[in-house]
Each structure stands twice: as C-alpha cells, then as structure tokens.
Amino acid sequence: MLIGRSPDIAPSEITEESVYLRRREFLAALGAGVALSAGVTTPVHALDRTRQDKLTPYDTVTGYNNFYEFGTGKDDPARNAHTLRPRPWSVVVEGEVEKPGPYDVDDLLRGMTVEERVYRHRCVEAWSMVVPWNGVPLRSVVDRLRPTSKAKYIEFITLQDTEQMPGQRRAILRWPYTEGLRMDEARHPLTLLVTGVYGKTLPNQNGAPIRLVIPWKYGFKGGKSIVRIRFRETQPMNSWRRSAPNEYGFYANVNPDVDHPRWSQATERRVGTFFKRKTLPFNGYADQVASMYAGMDLKANY
C-alpha cells in the first residue's frame, strides 16, 4: 500500500485569488518554489510556458465545465455535482502491474510532492482557459506501482453511479467514461493527476477527488473522478472514439490543421474574451512533446 497525505485543504487555509495571482508574479520574478497555504512545497515548474498568460478566474474555471455525468450544459456540473461524494474514495489498480489492488486515493498519493502547474486547458469546442492546477506527476504514481514490461498503455475508468451522477441516466455515452494514454504520454512530466485548482481542493464539478490533465491534448482526454487504473498491453477504446470514431480519435493532440467535422480548430477563444486567437500545435507545448510523435501522420492519428 502506498502512503500519502490528504490533498484536502481547510476553508480557513484557502488563498484568495488576488493573493494567489500576486504570489505567482513574485515567484516568476524569483524563479523559485514556495509553500502553499497547506504547507506543501509547490515549485513553479520549468516546463510551464504559460506563466505570463492571464489566469482564467476561479469562478469561471469551476463554473464553466464539460462533465456530462452531471448534464450537457456548461453550467450543469456546477449546479448538479453536489450529489458526488468524493470521500471516501478508492482507486483500483489492475492489469500488467506488479502492485495491483484497491488503494484509498489518499494512500495512492501519500508522500508525493504536489506541484503547481499553469496550463492552457483547451476543450474540443474551440474554447480554452488558463488554469493553475495542483497535483502530482502521473509518472511518480506509475513508477511506484511498477508496471510490467507488457504494459504499453494505461486505461482510466471513471465513476459510474447514477445516484451520484444523474447525467448517466441518459445514454449520451456508454458509461462509465473511459480514457487512455500511451505509456510514454503517461510518464511525461507535464501529465498530472490533479487534486486541486488555485491551491484549493478540486471541486466536484472539476472531477473530484482525482482527475487527469494532459495539457497538449483536447480536454476530453482528461478523465474525471477516476476509480480504476488499468495497465494494458493493447490500446484501450476511449469513450468518445467509441461513440463517434469519425470525430474523435485516441490521441486527441491539439492540432490546428485538423478540423473537427462540425467546427474549425484553427482558432480558439479564451473564455471571458471576445477575440479569437490562433490555435497552437500541441496547445503550445510542441517543444516538450512533439518528439513522442515523430514519424506519425498526425492527421490520420488524430
């Protein structure tokens, strides 16, 4: 059993957004790490290329979401996700791995450094945010679980419970929501298992208590409220590809040269702004991640 500290933060310890923003400016000037109000060292990561972007306000990050388990409207998750019970929470580890079994989510992450990373979070509908996520590098969890040599992919399965997630009573997708990554993608230092945002505990509507963030991919790759991690030899079938294979692929790398069948992906609009901007390949992280796809046809492997 892995050992870890709870990511919960008491309301009295929450840093106000204005203070948080000033702290980031100070850190950017110093190039140094700092302690969150909860006492966890959180370095401003060297791979972060978005520190100068204006952060999307907390109320927008937590009030404008895609989380169909709570409804298809952007404000449905914030309104309906109070039914989710994020504690206690177990994550089952299985498949091609040396340390399978059920893990309490806090034990799964215990002893790992929580990092602050500010990512361009881009959804599939040509809108984006700049979000300061808090979490642990997925690779640190993967390495401690010790996948076997057969493990080429990781599948992430999220909660299926129509009482807690009333949106699952509608056959919008085949539940539970499932996503997957290639092993090198999972172990890339930009990939996070997220437990918080803006230094606060992750709200239900954002995927509490634990979710994925892969910043060079479209938002649907970031499975929320994860309950099962499966190490696989073969590529898993992710939910949106199963539902609409002509629209959604396995890789979902942000690519302005590949349009969605129903809209252009060449430009995007930051939530809260009027003007659009050019979409960047790999969401602006090409220098860090493009080498993983060298030689691949990114239009065919969308």
User: Which helix H or strand E contains 158, and what residues bound it?
Assistant: strand 153-158
176: nearest Cα among 246, 118, 224, 128: 224
Single out the residue of 220, 238, 222 nearest to residue 178, CA to CA: 238
Contact (Cβ atoms closer than 8 angstroms) between residue 16 and residue 57? no
Over residues 148-175, the pLDDT tens digits come to 999 999 999 999 999 999 999 999 999 9
Banded pLDDT at 52 (limits 50, 70, 90): low
pLDDT of residue 21: 61
Distance CA 52, CA 63 (A): 23
Q: Mean pLDDT over all residues of the chain?
A: 87
Cα angle at 125 between 123 and 126, to 5 degrees?
85
Q: Report pLDDT for 6.
A: 36
CB 98 within 8 A of CB 146: yes
Q: Would the pLDDT of 109 be above 80?
A: yes
Which CATH number is 51-293 given? 3.90.420.10
The amino acid occupying position 83 is: T
Q: Measured between alpha carbons, how far is 270 from 118 in angstroms, rounded to an integer? A: 15
- pTM above the 0.75 mark? yes
State what percent of residues in the chain have pLDDT above 70. 83
- Residue 232, C-beta contacts closer than 8 angstroms, at least 6 positions apart: 95, 96, 151, 152, 153, 154, 155, 180
Q: What is the pLDDT of residue 284?
A: 96
Question: What average pLDDT does this structure show over 85-92?
Answer: 98
